[in-house]
Amino acid sequence: QLQLVESGGGLVQAGGSLRLSCAASGRTSSNYVMGWFRQIPGKEREFVAAVTWSGGTTYYADSVKGRFTIFRDKAENTVYLQMNSLKPADTAVYYCAANGGLVTTNPIRYGYWGQGTQVTVSS
């Protein structure tokens, strides 16, 4: 089993920055694809970004491209989401997720999830 624990959420003003962390433990693998998703109450979980654990190739939703950066630290088994130029529309619970090697924006294809961390951007 793979365990994922997010941290780093909080309250920030529009235009500010936050860095989310996702610490992985347990049955880690170099084949994993790590993703970040976000969800607002009453709406479906939305893809934000993903990175391949082995090569570090990154993928982004159009809504965050140029503002968010996903990267991983292999030595620390941690994936980060650096969020800059935050907007009120970025307010959501952010989840870290992993799957066995499929690069996809579909949350159904991710089998491992963290507990989520709240990000609130005030205007």
* Average pLDDT of the residues in 60-81: 96
* HEC letters along the chain: CEEEEEECCEEEECCCCEEEEEEEEECCCCCCEEEEEEECCCCCCEEEEEEECCCCCEEECCCCCCCEEEEEECCCCEEEEEECCCCHHHCEEEEEEEECCCCCCCHHHCCEECCCEEEEEEC
- pLDDT at residue 1, as a whole number: 87
- pLDDT at residue 29, as a whole number: 78
* Average pLDDT of the residues in 6-17: 97
The model's pLDDT over 38-68, given as tens digits with 9 standing for 90+, comes to 999 999 999 999 999 888 899 999 999 999 9
